[in-house]
Chain A
């Protein structure tokens, strides 16, 4: 690690979890996530001058939590800070839906509709037959961290429930794990089934195989980000039962196989039974969601190319979604992001 890299990872921001990637080296185009409205682009530029030492660049940033008026203002302040440090560099802040676009444009930011779900790799997220030995079949699956805002208590009336959960953060994670075990004593944890001795995150490539064992997917938070698991359910052929929410997961709830129910366990259980009774064709569900994702991707690329042309002068830089696929599959520490960016730069140099 170089001295400047050490400077970055030793700052107060080194402990934040985020994702960043180079989607183009020259012209410079980056894609990174916001962590608590913090954009680490200036810090990355300080740590990696060989990548960022160019007169202009476009930095696309994606949110992990819903954007309201206050957050849009806060993000605008962050962007102004970095644009002062890196003159000639511009930001494009992705909105998960038109409401976020409203707040972001009102705050004076360049924005494009880029719901995080468009970055899900449909080649990984696909339909499998149920094939994990001993796992059985379930009325519903809930793929969500064991955090209070995920409201697992709304699943208590579902007879056969499958849980998938990513890493929980901090003390709340431990408390919430105990709480969920208490309120959902009969639920099966896919994590435990696949790794009985020690908690392990289920690999992205295995998640679709787990989902195959359930009849529908669940989404219960009242407020969060886009909840990519929701679109992953559909790409894997599952209908979705959700409560009303803020955060733009409802962007893709325009289908007969997406059911929005009230915030109580009984309503959830009824909705789960109803969608199961419809026996939706899994391939059809996948095709329907793939169609609108393709539409959103098409327009995301148009918007990115428009902005990039203004900033770097390069016309139609991106012809496909491929450079963006898989973004934010997992959030990482600053140190790991730095290493990855260096590797990507080396790879892109070779490509050039």
Chain B
């Protein structure tokens, strides 16, 4: 096991948290044999931070650690990622690592690191019990042509929604900590839009629970996905489960895995094209339950193949049959991005369990 002091980060300033400021998904899918799921960025395998701080969880001779991306690898120099992966592998000798890529070519890009990879898009992990149409309307919210659920960040290209008259915006906390400033800029860029988080908070930013976000989806006829590059974009899957057709630009990151469906339009990078497609799909008044059902049929197919392959791969790596009888351990597992401190607590609790 690699000693923690080799991995621990220096605190920044007198009152700084001694732990690195990392938010990621970490889940123990099962204990015996140990199988975990966690997210990485393109330069670091965050799991290593857990391994070095909760070694008792990883003490078994064998284990399998599934890693997932939060951003695509198309422009990545892999050296830092490979170094981080090697550190993780060295910390748990005998354990296996496998990458769950959002699309086939991403699996090829990551596999250059020497780690096997399979395609398992973010969309198949979405929890269909949390996102659905037919919710009760929210008071004082009118119907909108389109909704865009995206943090205020240049990569999200909110400016491409400028031609949509009735636009509903949902926006998580800013990752730079400048939510208020970014909101002010967005109100200049999109003065007619409804800013849901501020409206729900009576003028002050309010972080919305998924139940509220799902109800807000009911107040729009179309979902937007406007970044040129990112990861798989979870909101894109949420739109589909909530029964919204999608207008998207061409993108890198894997959200287009589900864009072969009839109710998705991929348009060029200009506000007129986005606006026209949004109007077209909005006016079509497509059956939300049918959109959801079409996506669920694909999702069931994806899960069938993911589970089958996971069980066969798991058997070849860990020698155990039927590791996952059903999809339950994976459902919704990509929703919980937590600070390293919380993930350490989860790991410690899991280690204590029998």
Residues of A within 8 A of B (CB): 69, 97-99, 101-103, 105-106, 108, 110-113, 250-251, 253-254, 288, 291-292, 294-295, 297-299, 302-303, 306-307
Contact = CB atoms under 8 A, between A and B. Distances in A.
Contacts, number: 89
Contacts of B114: 108
A246 to B, nearest CB: 8
A321 to B, nearest CB: 11
B246 interface: no
A306 B316 contact: no
Contacts of A292: 297-298, 301
Given A99-B309, A112-B105, A105 B117 contact: yes
A105 B305 contact: no
Contacts of B104: 101, 111-113, 299, 302-303, 306
B256 interface: yes
Nearest to A303: B104
Contact of B119 (A103, A113, A288): A113
Contact of A98 (B257, B259, B294, B305): B305
A102 B111 CA distance: 10
A102 B260 contact: no
B305 A251 contact: yes
A113 B103 CA distance: 10
Contact of A291 (B297, B308, B313): B297
A111 B103 CA distance: 11
A113 B260 CA distance: 16
A204 B119 CA distance: 33
B107 interface: yes
Interface residues of B, number: 31
Contacts of A99: 118, 308-309, 312-313
21 contacts: A97-B309, A101-B119, A108-B111, A108-B112, A108-B114, A110-B108, A111-B107, A113-B104, A251-B308, A288-B297, A291-B294, A291-B297, A292-B297, A292-B301, A294-B260, A298-B257, A298-B259, A299-B103, A299-B104, A299-B260, A306-B104
B305 A97 contact: yes
B251 to A, nearest CB: 11
Given A98-B309, A302-B105, A306-B104, 18 more contacts: A98-B305, A101-B104, A101-B107, A102-B117, A105-B108, A105-B111, A106-B111, A108-B111, A110-B108, A113-B104, A113-B119, A250-B308, A251-B305, A291-B298, A292-B297, A294-B260, A306-B103, A306-B105
A101 B107 CA distance: 9
Nearest to A288: B297
| B118, B119, B301: residue with the most chain A Cβ atoms closer than 10 Å | B118
A103 B313 CA distance: 9
Nearest to B257: A299
Contacts of A103: 116
A45 to B, nearest CB: 23
B300 A254 contact: yes
Contacts of B301: 254, 292, 295
Nearest to A253: B304
B120 interface: yes
Nearest to B310: A98
A98 B120 contact: yes
Contact of A102 (B257, B304, B309): B309
A266 B136 CA distance: 53
| Smallest CB-CB A-B distances: 9 pairs | A298-B260, A98-B309, A306-B105, A254-B304, A303-B104, A105-B111, A106-B116, A98-B118, A112-B104
Contacts of B98: 102
A69 B316 contact: yes
A269 B114 CA distance: 47
B108 A98 contact: no
Contacts of B300: 254
Contacts of A298: 257, 259-260
Nearest to B301: A292
B298 A295 contact: yes
A240 B272 CA distance: 49
Given A97-B308, A303-B103, A102 B116 contact: yes
Interface in B305-322: 305-306, 308-309, 312-313, 316
| B104, B257, B297, B308: residue with the most chain A Cβ atoms closer than 10 Å | B104
Contacts of B312: 99
A98 B297 contact: no
| B107, B306, B312, B313: residue with the most chain A Cβ atoms closer than 10 Å | B107
Contacts of B103: 299, 302-303, 306
Contacts of B304: 253-254
Given A112-B104, A250-B308, A105 B116 contact: yes
A102 B298 contact: no
A121 B114 CA distance: 37
A97 B310 CA distance: 11
